[in-house]
Amino acid sequence: MGLTGKMTPYKNGFGPFPADIFHIPFPMENHGVSEDDSLAALKSLFKIDVDPERVAAIIIEPVQGEGGFYIASPQFLQTLRAICNVHGIILIVDEIQTGFARTGKTFAIEHAGIEPDLITVAKSLAGGFPLSGVIGKSEIMDAPAPGGLGGTYGGSPISCAAALGVLDVLAAENLNSKANLIGEKIVTRLTTIAARNDVPPIGEIRNLGAMIAFELMTGTNSAKPDAHMAKTLCATAADNGLILLSCGIYGNTIRILVPLTASFEIIEEGLDLLEASLVQCASSRVAA
């Protein structure tokens, strides 16, 4: 909870949180935060708040999950790696949403061609069975004493078997390529939908493999996020039989994370429901 960069709904009313966790803005060009801005914020953090030599770790999602599916470029991640190397800081990538073929690579960090020191994994790791893990360099992983890191659910045999099954399916069904194909198909369809004049204004559509999102805006060419429309769309789609999830610090982003094993027929069916729901939302707004 200390680490998450999203106040609502995760932090409001909770606390206290551990001290000495600092957040810098994630690059999101379409909301006015360039990668240079993010790096400048880090530089200023090191000047104002914390000596980089005291920093244990920098943690980043290569593609933000809850934060809004913004994508950190390979250059940005390479720059963070270089900064970590200079100051002896550990680089942790959180691949809990991006891991296991979701972005077209087994781990999203592979797009950047750098090696993190630790990777956190969960969710797709065991195809929905409860399992999470940390992958890391041995000098870090072996630092705690044997049994020093434990918990009630550690090493659940059924979840571990499911995770081994996931690795088999990932290879057998070539899910990295499938993720790229899913991404291309969905983005093409979203682009066609966004061009209609009877749907709510859609801003940026972005994806890395099958990690896909689009933003709802208050008007065509408007830079103002429409969180209310995102809520309305999720409710309308649910009524129509399609579960959608919003995300983003502005609450206006719809994320699409279809199972990588889904058939293209099912994906098309979902997109048909999405399109119909968008048209319905726009017409009810006109009627209101």
**65 lies in the binding site for ligand PLP (CB under 6 A):** yes
The Cα 262–Cα 165 span in angstroms is 16
- φ, ψ of residue 198 in degrees (nearest 5): -120, 30
> Shortest gap between Cβ of 122 and ligand PLP (angstroms)?
4
**96 lies in the binding site for ligand PLP (CB under 6 A):** yes
Distance, first Cα to last Cα, the chain: 39
119 neighbors 95 (Cβ within 8 angstroms): yes
The piece of 70-78, 90-98, 159-167, 172-180 that touches ligand PLP (CB under 6 A) is 90-98
Q: Is 75 exposed, middle or buried (0-12, 13-18, 19+ CB in 10 A)?
A: exposed
Q: Closer to ligand PLP at the Cβ: 254 or 282?
A: 254
Residues 101-140 vs ligand PLP: string with x where CB under 6 A? ---------------------x---------x--------
Cα Rg, the chain, nearest whole Å: 20
Select from 61, 117, 215, 226 the one that contacts ligand PLP (CB under 6 A). Answer: 61
Q: Closer to ligand PLP at the Cβ: 166 or 271?
A: 166
The piece of 58-66, 187-195, 208-216, 268-276 that touches ligand PLP (CB under 6 A) is 58-66
The Cα 84–Cα 58 span in angstroms is 8
Q: Closer to ligand PLP at the Cβ: 132 or 280?
A: 132
Q: Closer to ligand PLP at the Cβ: 65 or 251?
A: 65
Q: Closer to ligand PLP at the Cβ: 61 or 215?
A: 61
Q: Closest residue (Cβ) to ligand PLP?
A: 96
Q: In 10 A of CB 282, how many CB atoms?
A: 18
**279 lies in the binding site for ligand PLP (CB under 6 A):** no
> Shortest gap between Cβ of 3 and ligand PLP (angstroms)?
8
Q: Which one-letter amino acid corresponds to residue 104? A: G
Q: Closer to ligand PLP at the Cβ: 97 or 103?
A: 97
> Shortest gap between Cβ of 102 and ligand PLP (angstroms)?
11
Q: In 10 A of CB 15, how many CB atoms?
A: 8
Beta strands in 45-201 (DSSP E): 57-60, 90-94, 118-121, 133-136
The Cα 211–Cα 62 span in angstroms is 11
Q: Closer to ligand PLP at the Cβ: 98 or 277?
A: 98
Q: Closer to ligand PLP at the Cβ: 117 or 226?
A: 117
124 neighbors 166 (Cβ within 8 angstroms): yes
Beta strands in the chain (DSSP E): 57-60, 90-94, 118-121, 133-136, 202-208, 211-216, 245-247, 253-256
> Shortest gap between Cβ of 97 and ligand PLP (angstroms)?
4
Residues between 9 and 48 with contacts to ligand PLP, criterion CB under 6 A: none
- Give, as one character, the DSSP assignment of residue 88: T
* Binding footprint of ligand PLP on the chain (CB under 6 A): 61, 65-66, 94, 96-97, 122, 132
